[in-house]
Structure 1
Amino acid sequence: MRVPDPSAALAAAASVLQAPIGGMLEPLSQAVSEFLPHQALAMLTGDCARHPMKAYGETVLTEQITSAELARVGGTVEVGRPWFGDAYLAGGLIPALAVASRPAGTSGALLVVVTAGEIEPTAAVRDLMQKLWDLVTLHLPHRAVNLPPADLSGNRLAAGERARAIAELTSAHAATLQALLSTLRSRRLDDAAARRHATDLAVSALIELRAAADLDSSLSEEQAGPAFDRLAGKLAPLTRYGEVSLELAGPRDRGRVLPGDIANAAQALAHNTVVTMLGYKGLTRIRVTWEPSGSELRLEVRDDGPGVLTADALPLRRLTELATAVGGALSLDAVPGWGTTVTAVLPLVPPAPKLQDEALAGLKPRELEVLERLARGLRNRQIAEELMISEHTVKFHVAKILDKLGVGTRTEAAALAHSYA
């Protein structure tokens, strides 16, 4: 293992920071391979709602490493203190170097490097990897907030699909395991040792399922208060030494949970709107209001400037693209001489997909109704209640839908429905 070269370290930092957020591991791998031979890299972060886990390297490893495995490794690593040892990854124990970082205002990120061979990285290599990862994670929130509209839209769809898939998996397996526990705890069974062993297995499986749901929540959600505080930190430098005063009105319910992609989109909208308003002369005050209510997040930015911003202006068109990318809407109220108000309303729940009859022409009207609710993540009982039919009839329709669409699971049918939405 070579001694780290300072110039190589700087080159590594530059190449990673210039890469798109989804492709940062490849240049990182190439840059650090000179002083840290490895087979694969994997990262887990809470600052990217679309793909919280990313991996790069030998496919035999990257295709097998799971976010749950990374989360377990993360539980043994202290922020700022590199760790090396045998980690359970890709279904087995393999030597790996792990570094964790959590700069202020971020959700933190973990990097795991599956090393080549069993040679332990030197203290100098560990320290360099930690400092390099600290630098990378410092820029993750900024890059997540400034995603282009297409990526914001992808974040919204991916986060919703991931949550629905995990919820369905958790519900199905939890019901099965709870029934197993009930059976194994029956007094009619006299094999106490077998019963205890099976009970332990079932309890462990339940814990794993709940951990999966908790992991998804931690990676794809953020409380309204901390999200607004991050926005305030980004806006403060814009007016700190200028003549324009900045007023910030945060959410009354600071504990309200927001989808991570919506929080990022709202921050991007507020920041870009304030920057746009500061480009006009004559204003002395900008007020930013951020309030989640019901199923929507309402963002309002108001100034006392000339009020000449128009709907067809390039800055406003870009703001509109950002809002619509996550299913929201943007409105402008500009009165010459009185100021400008830009209001964005963003949804806090994924919209119900609109199915296109021409794309799913093989389904009957009732089957389309069932599929639409299935795509929203509803269970059979909930679908039956909404359509006022029996649960048995719902099961019949679901079976027909799967057969006609040529898929094997409800999740695949839901994904297909969303692809046509």
Structure 2
Amino acid sequence: MTKDVAMTDDVDVPSAASRRLVQEHARVMAAQVDRHAVTLENLLAILRADRVDDRTARAMAIEVATTSLVQLRMATDEQQSSMLEPVVGAFARLQNDLRPLVRFGGLDIQFVEPPASGRALPSEVAHAARAIVRSVVLAFVDSGEAKRVRIQWDCDGLNLLIGIRDDGAGELTVHDDSLRPVTEHVSALNGDVDVESTLGWGSSLDIRLPLDPPATPEPLSDSAELSGREREVLRLVAEGARNQDIATQLGISANTVKFHVSNLLRKVGARSRGELAALARN
């Protein structure tokens, strides 16, 4: 780990673009709250109206609620179709999240903003990244050792790369209890954490979070070119049936079953019957 990386005493101020993204997010949320408030106010007004009988009030309330639900579903569909958060916007929200620690926690945090041209983050990755960084910083604060922390985000097109460095005692390891929630969170997202510490110089965490979910493996019976009989044999092998049991169920000889099993092992590259059964069950 390089020992001479400078840390400034001043906290970086978010760029104008970052502030605009945060403001736009706040504006959208405020608009949604306002629309829901209007719907509820209309429903209350209908239900409280003395000049409207119960049957008419019910019909009017149903119409208002139905219209509101349609609009909500349309907005949700539109939001889900573009559930991406610009990386600079996600980073700006992180800065806002950590600002109280800067002001009241006695911690000097240096933010190194990601390139504005970086790939947008899926919302769940952006949310998880902020939570992970907050957990790490709070762990530093609880230790009472660190006075300065440097946080950097970058994106290589496939992963969000997070770098966090402190100036603490330099005794942190990936197995430290304070990092257990972080490592578990990162692992759940199919990412990885690397920790390097130099005694007396601090610790450095490098975290990688994939932007795309892992590809779902194609079922073995679909990925391999198998005959109908081979598929039947494979199903029974996966259920733990022996050759003679398979032969009895399918009305074929045990030698024929052995022939099919041998072909299955060759086609899928399995080295044993147990491995073949395990592959078939995945």
Cα separation, partners in 2 of 1:213 and 1:340, compared to 1, 3 Å: same
- Kindly report structure 1 stretches of 4+ aligned residues shifted beyond 6 Å: none
1:240 Cα deviation from its structure 2 partner: 1.2
Letter in 2 for 1:269: I
| Secondary structure at 1:253 match in 2 | coil
Deviations 1:79-136 (A, max 9, x none): 5363249xxxxxxxxx968xxxxxxxxxxxxxxxxxx82577xxxxxxxxxxxxxxxx
Give the match for residue 34 of structure 2.
80
From 114, 117, 131, give the equivalent of 2:58: 117
Structure 2 distance, partners of 1:241, 1:212, is: 38
| Secondary structure at 2:115 match in 1 | coil
Letter in 1 for 2:142: G
Structure 1 distance, partners of 2:202, 2:154, is: 21
Cα separation, partners in 2 of 1:245 and 1:361, compared to 1, 3 Å: closer
1:259 Cα deviation from its structure 2 partner: 0.4
| Secondary structure at 1:252 match in 2 | coil
Structure 1 distance, partners of 2:173, 2:182, is: 12
From 136, 147, 156, give the equivalent of 1:273: 136
| Secondary structure at 2:34 match in 1 | coil
Deviations 1:212-267 (A, max 9, x none): 9743233x221111111111111111131344311011211266311011001100
Q: Is residue 181 of structure 2 the alignment partner of residue 318 of structure 1?
A: yes
| Secondary structure at 2:121 match in 1 | strand
Letter in 1 for 2:162: L
Kept in 2, the 8 Å contact 1:262–1:346? The answer is yes
Query: Which range is displaced more, 305-314 or 292-301?
Result: 305-314
Cα separation, partners in 2 of 1:284 and 1:361, compared to 1, 3 Å: closer
Give the match for residue 239 of structure 1.
102
Structure 2 distance, partners of 1:78, 1:318, is: 33
Give the match for residue 365 of structure 1.
224
1:315 Cα deviation from its structure 2 partner: 2.1
Q: Is residue 127 of structure 2 the alignment partner of residue 257 of structure 1?
A: no
Give the match for residue 215 of structure 1.
79
* Higher relative strand content: 1
Kept in 2, the 8 Å contact 1:226–1:254? The answer is no
Cα separation, partners in 2 of 1:354 and 1:363, compared to 1, 3 Å: closer
Structure 2 distance, partners of 1:78, 1:284, is: 40
From 335, 347, 358, give the equivalent of 2:210: 347
* Unaligned 5+ runs, structure 1: 1-46, 48-73, 86-94, 98-115, 121-207, 368-419
| Secondary structure at 2:134 match in 1 | helix
Structure 2 distance, partners of 1:243, 1:83, is: 43
Structure 1 distance, partners of 2:106, 2:143, is: 13
Q: Return the structure number with greater relative CO, CA threshold 8 A, min gap 6.
A: 2
Query: Highest CA radius of gyration, 1 or 2?
Result: 2
Letter in 2 for 1:117: R
Describe how 1:97-116 pairs up with structure 2 within 5 A.
none
TM-score, L = length of structure 2: 0.53
Letter in 2 for 1:350: P
1:297 Cα deviation from its structure 2 partner: 0.4
Sequence identity percentage? 31
Give the match for residue 403 of structure 1.
none
| Secondary structure at 2:182 match in 1 | helix
| Secondary structure at 1:294 match in 2 | coil
Structure 2 distance, partners of 1:352, 1:259, is: 16
Kept in 2, the 8 Å contact 1:328–1:347? The answer is yes
